């Protein structure tokens, strides 16, 4: 009897879903190209991940290459620099997360408070612009600006009576340089999401707060921030999903033999050890390893968010 009821319920549920889809069939039809895109370009190629357990050979192809079990991982974990690279990647990612993530939120709040629309738009455009400069160009500018001999920054320091600082030659400056340049380049772009979320806040709340005598800071604290809280939390969870990824270009461009002890991260290491030598299986193994770490971190963050009564991914 219970089984029959459950089957009936399930059938009813399916029926409702189907009739919902039928009712909104054109929306679902519009979804189709995106779905096909994801299946073809993101899911189908995933079978290639099996090469981490294979000695990939062009001649034999992905399926035909010889199985070597966990050999690629054994090789990875036994490389002398591996743990140093792991540490560098983690530290840099965490610094990036905790130092640059809040900047976009703060910047978005500040932009939202600009009363003059024209001025707000100009400011917004100006803070977005660095996002479109490639790291190659930006890296070149940084190396030139920070040069102890010819750089503008050290010229200023010299004129102020300070000793020039060899920013690119000292490992202790590498991480701050990466974080500061990341913030400068990407913080503006990161505000888009929060500004969009802010437009969804009911303006009557602000009017009511004004009637109650709330000042700007109070409105920001008690209306705007809670209004975009779920966006912030979701964005944070998603950021933890790419925790081990530091990007290749920026690090590679700022890296040199003098700061290599702190600048070698998975992206640059994989490039040199794997792709440079045509070891595709090994490179994929590194990619899989970092993805698994990121997935675990994302799951933990999502769990904490859910437990804390916040919005979560599922």
Where along the sequence are the contacts to other proteins (CB under 8 A)?
A: 26, 29-30, 32-33, 36-37, 40-41, 57-61, 79-81, 143, 147-150, 166, 168-169, 256-258, 260, 272-273, 275-280
Nearer to other proteins, 102 or 171 (CB): 171
Maximum distance among all Cα pairs of the chain, rounded to whole angstroms: 89
Q: How far is the CB of 41 from other proteins (least distance, A)?
A: 7
Nearer to other proteins, 184 or 271 (CB): 271
User: Which residues touch 279 (CB under 8 Å, ≥6 apart)?
Assistant: 273
The pair of three-digit structure tokens given for residue 66, joined into one six-digit string? 């010889």
How far apart CA 159 and CA 293 sit, in angstroms, is 47
Nearer to other proteins, 182 or 259 (CB): 259
| φ, ψ (nearest 5 deg) of residue 67 | -75, 135
- CB count in 10 Å sphere of residue 26: 8
Q: How far is the CB of 52 from other proteins (least distance, A)?
A: 15
Q: Closest Cα partner for 104 from 191, 174, 20, 35?
A: 191
Q: How far is the CB of 30 from other proteins (least distance, A)?
A: 6
Q: Are 195 and 88 in contact (CB under 8 A)?
A: no
Q: How far is the CB of 75 from other proteins (least distance, A)?
A: 9
Could you give the count of Cα atoms lying within 13 Å of 42 in the half-sphere of its Cβ?
6
Q: How far is the CB of 111 from other proteins (least distance, A)?
A: 34
Q: Are 121 and 201 in contact (CB under 8 A)?
A: no
Nearer to other proteins, 116 or 149 (CB): 149
Q: How far is the CB of 294 from other proteins (least distance, A)?
A: 23
Q: Are 41 and 29 in contact (CB under 8 A)?
A: no
Nearer to other proteins, 37 or 303 (CB): 37
Nearer to other proteins, 104 or 268 (CB): 268
Nearer to other proteins, 150 or 222 (CB): 150
| φ, ψ (nearest 5 deg) of residue 284 | -65, -35
Q: How far is the CB of 147 from other proteins (least distance, A)?
A: 6
Q: Are 119 and 270 in contact (CB under 8 A)?
A: no
């Amino acid at each position: 009897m219970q089984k029959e009821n459950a089957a009936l319920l399930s059938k009813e549920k399916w029926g409702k879903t189907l009739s919902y889809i039928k009712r909104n069939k054109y929306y679902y039809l519009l979804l189709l190209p995106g779905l096909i895109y994801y299946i073809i370009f993101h899911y189908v190629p995933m079978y290639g991940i099996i090469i981490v357990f294979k000695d990939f050979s062009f001649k034999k192809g992905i399926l035909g290459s010889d199985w070597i079990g966990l050999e690629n991982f054994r090789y990875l974990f036994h490389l002398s620099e591996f743990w140093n690279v792991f540490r560098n990647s983690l530290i840099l990612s965490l610094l990036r997360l905790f130092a640059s993530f809040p900047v976009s939120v703060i910047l978005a709040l500040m932009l939202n408070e600009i009363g003059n629309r024209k001025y707000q738009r100009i400011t917004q455009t100006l803070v977005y612009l660095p996002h479109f400069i490639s790291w190659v160009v930006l890296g070149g500018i940084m190396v030139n600006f920070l040069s102890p001999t010819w750089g503008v920054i050290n010229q200023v320091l010299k004129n102020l009576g300070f000793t020039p600082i060899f920013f690119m030659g000292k490992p202790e400056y590498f991480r701050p340089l990466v974080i500061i340049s990341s913030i400068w380049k990407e913080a503006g772009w990161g505000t888009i999401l929060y500004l969009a979320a802010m437009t969804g806040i009911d303006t009557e709340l602000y009017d009511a707060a004004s009637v109650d005598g709330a000042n700007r800071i109070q409105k920001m604290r008690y209306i705007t921030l809670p209004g975009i809280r779920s966006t912030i939390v979701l964005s944070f969870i998603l950021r933890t999903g790419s925790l081990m990824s530091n990007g290749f270009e920026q690090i590679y461009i700022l890296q040199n033999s003098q700061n290599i002890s702190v600048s070698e991260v998975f992206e640059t290491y994989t490039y040199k050890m794997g792709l440079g030598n045509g070891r595709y299986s090994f490179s994929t193994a590194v990619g899989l390893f970092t993805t698994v770490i990121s997935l675990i971190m994302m799951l933990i963050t999502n769990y904490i968010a859910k437990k804390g009564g916040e919005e979560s991914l599922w």
